[in-house]
Amino acid sequence: MKTIHYLLCLLALSSTLASAQTAPSGKTIRIVVPYGAGGPIDATARMLAERVKDTLGTVIVENKPGGGGNIGVDLVAKAAPDGYTIGIAAVATHAINPWLYARMPFNAATDFAPVTQMLRVPNVLVMNANTARELKIHTLAELIAYAKAHPAKLNYGSGGNGSAGHLAGEMFKAQAGIFAVHIPYNGGSPAQLALLGAQVDFNFDNLATASANIKSGKLKALAVTTAQRSALLPDVPTVAETLKGFEVDTWWGLVVPAATPKAVVQKLNQAFVAALNAPETKTRFATLMAEPVPSTPEQFGAFMKSELTKYEKVVKASGARVD
């Protein structure tokens, strides 16, 4: 009887340890968003937090903005690796900032374990519609031809030096063999207002931000920056149809501290991938012009590595730097 009792105790202990190793459960999980409340990253994080509560329990969203996203992401890097602190990794924090900032509080390549990519939002090359008509520019090829025929006459706006719009513009100029003056603004909204006011000729804008003005006819969409055409603008060609290999996405996903056990990462991945694949989630994300991109941890890790490599060249070529 003593032997049987001992074996039962061992089985109970083994079960308890296995459960602990596949945490989180029974404790509040937080998703750290390294940007302010109200934007698309914040909104989508809150949607997912609601969707996974039946699987993971209570999930809250904490906004930790500042430092171009670096402050919130650093908090995640230094959190306990137990699955209860999840962070948002974005193209800015994990692909652009490591080359843009002279000093980084974390290592984007080694301080995190990927969970899954969440979403991508196409960027779109847009012109002021009146300017496009005056210059007789109806396609991307015509924009490039005009720029070559009128060197340094065109300019473009962005949300600031080193922003996604700035770097997309520099990639475009390099591949098209043209020159256009870059005019940085203090954020994406002022840059769009400058375009609407014909103070600049074109921008690379986020589709979620530009879509309303495209639909109203105030902006003319010449091309999207994704590798394939967007289902949201199926008649608008990609930049790559004119400039082979051009691809720029605004993307974000979920990461945890690097030492988080693989079993915990896998549990989180299963819960969030199921939420991303839910029809209701896809419908809600479509209103933000965002496309779910659920992935395995390995796929998201390989993607982030490739993006980090890509933007090293782009940032250095642009000369942008934050000291």
DSSP string across 144-204: HHHHHHSTT--EEEESSTTSHHHHHHHHHHHHHT---EEEE-SSHHHHHHHHHTTSSSEEE
Cα(177)–Cα(206) distance, rounded to whole angstroms?
24
What is the arithmetic mean of pLDDT over 81-96? Answer: 96
Whether residue 318 is predicted with pLDDT greater than 90 in this model: the reply is no
Q: What is the mean pLDDT of residues 222-242?
A: 92
User: Given this model, what pLDDT does residue 286 score?
Assistant: 87
Q: Place 24 in a pLDDT band, splitting at 50, 70 and 90.
A: low
Q: What is the pLDDT of residue 7?
A: 38
For residues 205-226, average pLDDT: 92
What is residue 17's predicted lDDT score, i.e. its pLDDT?
33
State the amino acid at position 307 in one-letter form: E
Q: State the greatest distance between any 2 C-alpha atoms of the chain, in Å, as a whole number.
A: 94
pLDDT, residue 265, reads 98
Q: Examine residue 81 and say whether the peptide bond preceding it is cis (omega within 30 degrees of 0).
A: no
**Which part of the chain is CATH 3.40.190.150?**
24-120+250-318
Contacts of 278 (CB under 8 A, 6+ apart): 51
CATH code of 122-241, in short, is 3.40.190.10
**Torsional class of 206: left (φ above 0), alpha (ψ -120 to 50), beta (otherwise):** beta
User: Mean pLDDT over all residues of the chain?
Assistant: 90
Range list for CATH 3.40.190.10 in the chain: 122-241
Q: Which of 222, 217, 218 is closest to 240 using CA atoms? A: 222
**Three-state SS at 159:** coil
Give pLDDT, residue 322: 85
Average pLDDT over residues 190-206: 95
Q: Does residue 65 carry a pLDDT above 60?
A: yes
Q: How far apart are the C-alpha atoms of 10 and 296, rounded to whole Å?
A: 34
Mean pLDDT of 235-255: 94
CATH no., domain 24-120+250-318: 3.40.190.150
Higher pLDDT, 52 or 10: 52
Q: Say what the pLDDT of residue 83 is.
A: 96
